[in-house]
Amino acid sequence: MAGLISALNIAKNALLNFQLATQVITHNISNVNNENYSRQKVIETTYPPEPSFIGPIGRGAKIEKIIRYFDIFLEKNINLKKTDYGMYSAEETGLTILESYFNETNESGLLGILKDFWNAWQNLANYPESFSARSEVIEYGKLIAESLKTKFQGMKDLEDQINVKLQELVERINTLASQIASLNQEIIAQEVGGKSANDLRDKRDQLVAELSQLVDIQYFETKEGAYNIVLEKGFNLVNLNQFWKLEVSGKGIYWIGPNNKKVLITSKEITSGELGGWLRLLEQISDEYNYEYVSGDESVYTLTGEPITESTTFNELGITTGTFTFSGMDHFGNSISGNFTVSTGNETIGDLLNAIEFAFNYTVDAYIKDGRLFIEDLYRGPGELSFSITGPVDFGNFDDPAYQRRVEEINLAGELKIFGEELIKAVNSYYTQGVGLTFFTRELEGVYSVNQYIKELPYFLDLKKDSSGTQLSGFFYLWIKDPTGKITPVKANLNGVSINATLTDLQNVINSALQEAGFYRSASDWDIQAIVRNGKLVIQAKDNFSFAFSNDTCGILLATGLNVFFVGKDPIDFKVNPILISEPELVSSGKMDPTAFRSKNPLFGTFKSNTSVDPTYTGFEIDRLYINFYNEKGEKFSVPPEPFYEATYTTDVLLDDVNIYIKDANGNILKTITLNSGTEISELPKILDGSEGIKATIKNEILKFELDLKNAPPEAVYFTVDEGASGINTLIEWDETFSSYAININSTDTLQEIINKLDRLPYLRAYIDSNNYLILTLEPNQTTAYGFEIGEYFTGTTPSSTTSFVEFLNNENMHIPAFRWDGINITRVMTGLEDFNLNTSYENYLSFYLFDEKGNPIDTDTTTPEIEPFRIDLNEILNLANNKTLFDLLQIINAPENVQWGISARLDREGKLILETTGLYNTRSFVVQDEIDDGSGNIIQAPYNYGVINNLSGYILDRGDNRIAQIIADVPSQIRESLGLTTLDDYYSNIIKDIGIATKT
């Protein structure tokens, strides 16, 4: 019976085994189209035999387990390929979209527009007075702005799409991690006792495969049958039945660790998979990734458990007193340090952040995110940024790479941004220095606004600063045109302005300069003023006043957006200045700083008595007058420019020998001609007929000798006459003591007779007009003498204001350079600068601010921290004791020791002052202005109606000047350091090449 039952059991088990195997086969067949299904197989084993007296008796077969046909090695390799596929698929999709934004195969591409833009500027340089050329520049500028805007908008759209995709991927990864952790738990529970949860494993492997395509993972099976999954760099994702989340915050992906601690994950941590591919692409098209930062690894919370923000007060942290000390290095490796003291508890975290930014000279952005302190570089690219802080609040360590962003190289977005920013800056930085066909009227508003401080200006980092980095350095010129048409340069000196200054502080500096020049008196009484409105700097002008700009050596015009071509710094959103679109005549093409200056009024002109004079006046007690002539450069003639001698005579024959000495330039006698005593004077023209080098004439009873250079010795330049007691009385001769023409004056000579004698001189006209006004001036048509000086000689007591001829001229405001000589000492009476009403209680200066070909200032004294001009102390001339004249001013400018400054001075035929660049050395333009000492040792500009240049006038708006247009037209050929020593066009071409190569590979 027992054997029958055993046989029946064996048969039953065999049927059950067959039924189960059929069920497994059916299960396999039903999942034939399920690519994630692993074929299962029934594993049969023999039941343990039943012992008997004849030996073990078999008990049939049983199903031991159902296994999967699954190769873990092969599956992992497939998953690795899926990871790569996910990465390449994401990158290809994104790069294909990106490539469409940079199609440069036709003329409508940016490269073609750039070429047309530069050509338009060249056309304007060729025709600087053309309105159509200005319009052309504006139109191509608009096309550039639109083209760049389209590219950046496309990149921004792609960036937004990637952010959405990343959010989707992170949510899916989190979901997969959660599901895998749950499956781990189920599989562990079902496989207790050695069973195999095949379908659950298939499902888990399916999720792992999907996860592998999304992100690069490493996974392994534990002894319990669970999968532990980690991301690259060891970030846990799944451990048994636990999982960790990823989170998208801003443009970053964070791994949320224990205690909700966030760690930034970049493409360095996730190198492949769809997430890695999209993240790599995002890191190429987002400019944010070009800026390094370091952050503390501790989040700080208020007493109520809220993460701190910039507005959090220290009272909210339970802190009322304490000091923070911090240090580090900036982008360039410069050490920084500072501290911040909490004294009341009402101070905010924002106050601490401001102190940190100040210590870095505002080259970083300090901010709070998720309760953590971040220090972010404001310069793109790899740098040396580091930071540490100690104090009442623990912000943690700042040297953990997991809490830093380091940049190895600037990405595509950064390169394109740099290109756009450099394009805008290249044009605007030159453009701000220029002037159009007219000055600005009424007002001009800067295009950039701030809340309060100049550090908020977009180009603050580009402002020139002193060696400490805490103060601005440089100046700029405002050119003011008054109702009379006179143009005056006003230098706004920015030296010493703190980098913590407000825009109002800048306004005050400009108004102070305008006040010095006399254009601003108070907030209610001004001709030109600067104000701050809605956070912007505004220059305003009253009716009939106008203004222009030039020579900004600090960069403040660019920073505030005064007189710019492009509005905006960010190439994502910029445009041509709307003012120029409505008023093309304002498009800058020329410059105000001249290469040559010609005064409107003469430095040495016609001298007319202040009142009518009495021609019959005979009160002058002088013996001689001296006339010195000067050439165009203010150099005194050391030999007579026209050698001659005149005399009267009281006898018909010579009563004594007369000797004539022909001399060279050094006064050496080359030949002596003797006229013997007894010679009839009337015969002298026959005797001295020029054959001996001297020619004599008699006219109106005046004997005149002249040098005949054709027959004189080769080196002869002048002659002197020794009359002895011949009866000849000298009227005019060359005086070797003073190198002057000397005129003998008789005590009985009337004013008219003295004037007649002066009028006998060459190059000089002296007369009393029909209204009895005395006139002294140069002959209008001659080109030898450009100025003259008058002196007098007396014996006995010093002549008074009524007996001195030069004092008479002085009293009549005929301020000719003049001196008096008593035979021993020379006394300077007039310098020729008296008409300028210079106050010698001040230190008066004539200052030349010099600029090179690129508009950079030339420093004439490198021992001082400020840019120093070529400065002439006018008091050296004004001080009569120094015996100098206005001609010395020209001589100083032209002196050999000053040739290095590249400026020359001369007078034209009208006596107007001409200042020119010589083309030597580096000087290519200049601004000359009057300056005075303010009494405190500070040299400031003189009021617009005071001084030499201010009274001479002469600055003009040259509508034909093309210097700015030409400089901008030459921009594409300029090698730019900020672009890696390449040009703008080449830099952009390289970007296009990089995109093409990336897409193809």
- Asked if residue 833 is part of any domain, the answer here is no
Q: pLDDT tens, 308-363? A: 999 999 999 999 999 999 999 999 999 999 999 999 999 999 999 999 999 998 89
Do residues 88 and 133 both lie within one domain?
yes
Q: pLDDT tens, 577-615? A: 999 999 999 999 999 999 999 999 999 999 999 999 999
Give CA–CA dist 235/268, Å, rounded.
Answer: 12
Q: What is the CA radius of gyration of the chain?
A: 47
- For residue 808, what are its two tokens? 């008479």
Assess contact for 538 and 443: CB atoms under 8 A.
yes
Q: How do 728-735 and 644-649 pair as beta strands?
A: antiparallel
Confidence band for 70, pLDDT divided at 50, 70 and 90: low
The least confident of 218-232, 517-531, 722-736 is 218-232
Do residues 489 and 547 both lie within one domain?
yes
Helix, coil or strand: residue 400: coil
- Asked if residue 209 is part of any domain, the answer here is yes
Q: What percentage of the chain's residues is helix, strand, coil (to nearest 5)?
A: 35, 30, 40
Cα dihedral 328→330→335→340 (10° resolution): -50
Do residues 864 and 916 both lie within one domain?
yes
pLDDT at 821: 92
Do residues 177 and 266 both lie within one domain?
yes
Nearest to 758 by CA among 728, 735, 731, 721: 731
Q: What's the mean pLDDT in 124-139? A: 96
Do residues 297 and 389 both lie within one domain?
yes
Q: pLDDT tens, 262-314? A: 888 888 888 888 888 888 888 887 888 899 999 999 999 999 999 999 999 99
Which of 738, 760, 786 lies at the terminal end of a domain, its last residue?
A: 738
Q: What's the mean pLDDT in 48-61? A: 74
In the predicted structure, residue 426 carries a pLDDT above the cut 90: yes
- Annotate 880-909 with DSSP letters as a single string: GGG---HHHHHHHHHSGGGGGG-EEEEE-T
Residue 243 neighbours by CB distance under 10 Å: 21
Give CA–CA dist 857/160, Å, rounded.
Answer: 46
Residue 17 or 668, more confident: 668
**Residue located via tokens 């296009």:** 992
pLDDT at 261: 80
Assess contact for 598 and 908: CB atoms under 8 A.
yes
pLDDT at 61: 74
**Residue located via tokens 């029909």:** 770
Q: What's the mean pLDDT in 968-987? A: 90
- For residue 530, what are its two tokens? 């600067």
Please tell me the number of Cα atoms within 13 Å of 952 on its side-chain side: 25
- For residue 566, what are its two tokens? 């492009």
The least confident of 338-347, 422-431, 741-750, 981-990 is 981-990
Cα dihedral 235→239→243→246 (10° resolution): 10
pLDDT at 680: 96
Do residues 538 and 648 both lie within one domain?
no
Do residues 19 and 152 both lie within one domain?
no
Nearest to 793 by CA among 827, 826, 822: 822
pLDDT at 996: 73
Cross-strand bridge partners of residue 552: none
Helix, coil or strand: residue 486: coil
Q: pLDDT tens, 528-553? A: 999 999 999 999 999 999 999 999 99
Residue type, 429: S
- Asked if residue 37 is part of any domain, the answer here is yes
Q: 271: exposed, middle or buried (C-beta count within 10 Å: 0-12, 13-18, 19+)?
A: middle
Q: pLDDT tens, 23-36? A: 777 877 877 776 66
Do residues 558 and 442 both lie within one domain?
yes
- For residue 706, what are its two tokens? 């002249």
Give CA–CA dist 527/514, Å, rounded.
Answer: 9
Give CA–CA dist 678/701, Å, rounded.
Answer: 18
Assess contact for 167 and 143: CB atoms under 8 A.
no
pLDDT at 65: 66
Q: What's the mean pLDDT in 193-199? A: 77
- Asked if residue 972 is part of any domain, the answer here is no
pLDDT at 82: 54
Do residues 398 and 312 both lie within one domain?
yes
Do residues 249 and 355 both lie within one domain?
no
SS (H, E, C) 930-973: EEEECCCCCEEECCCCCCHHHHHCCCCCCCCCCHHHHHHHCHHH
Give CA–CA dist 777/518, Å, rounded.
Answer: 34
- Asked if residue 894 is part of any domain, the answer here is yes
Average pLDDT of the chain, as a whole number: 90
Give CA–CA dist 566/577, Å, rounded.
Answer: 5
CATH code of the domain covering residue 693:
3.30.70
Q: What percent of the chain has pLDDT over 90?
A: 67
What's the chain's length in residues?
1001
Run of H or E residues at 434: strand 434-435
Q: pLDDT tens, 438-449? A: 999 999 999 999
In the predicted structure, residue 1001 carries a pLDDT above the cut 70: no
Q: Helices in 191-234 by DSSP H: which ranges?
A: 198-214
Q: What's the mean pLDDT in 175-189? A: 92
Nearest to 479 by CA among 588, 578, 602, 601: 588
- Asked if residue 415 is part of any domain, the answer here is no
Nearest to 303 by CA among 289, 311, 314, 293: 314
Assess contact for 735 and 626: CB atoms under 8 A.
yes
Q: How do 818-821 and 787-793 pair as beta strands?
A: parallel
Confidence band for 937, pLDDT divided at 50, 70 and 90: confident
Q: What is the tally of structural domains in the chain?
A: 6
pLDDT at 818: 97
pTM of the model: 0.83
Residue 18 neighbours by CB distance under 10 Å: 14
- Annotate 812-847 with DSSP letters as a single string: TT----EEEE-SS-EEEEE-S-GGG---TTS-EEEE
Which of 253, 287, 321 lies at the terminal end of a domain, its last residue?
A: 287
In the predicted structure, residue 71 carries a pLDDT above the cut 90: no
In the predicted structure, residue 811 carries a pLDDT above the cut 70: yes
pLDDT at 79: 54
- Helix 412-431 vs helix 984-1000: crossing angle, to nearest 10: 170
Nearest to 480 by CA among 515, 507, 450: 515
Helix, coil or strand: residue 744: strand
Run of H or E residues at 556: helix 556-560
Give CA–CA dist 826/819, Å, rounded.
Answer: 7
Q: 627 to each of 654, 817, 820, how far by Cα in Å? A: 29, 10, 12
In the predicted structure, residue 176 carries a pLDDT above the cut 90: yes
Give CA–CA dist 968/429, Å, rounded.
Answer: 10
Give CA–CA dist 981/73, Å, rounded.
Answer: 52
Do residues 131 and 234 both lie within one domain?
yes
Residue 169 or 436, more confident: 436
In the predicted structure, residue 922 carries a pLDDT above the cut 60: yes
Q: What's the mean pLDDT in 647-652? A: 94
Assess contact for 364 and 377: CB atoms under 8 A.
yes
- Asked if residue 754 is part of any domain, the answer here is no
Do residues 558 and 446 both lie within one domain?
yes
Q: 727 to each of 195, 656, 746, 878, how far by Cα in Å? A: 153, 8, 16, 44
Q: Measured on CA atoms in the order 506, 509, 512, 518, is the torsion positive or negative?
A: negative
- For residue 315, what are its two tokens? 């009272």
pLDDT at 705: 98
Which of 287, 318, 349 lies at the terminal end of a domain, its last residue?
A: 287
Confidence band for 572, pLDDT divided at 50, 70 and 90: confident
pLDDT at 69: 58
* Residue range(s) defining the domain that contains residue 7: 2-69
Give CA–CA dist 890/948, Å, rounded.
Answer: 13
- Asked if residue 14 is part of any domain, the answer here is yes
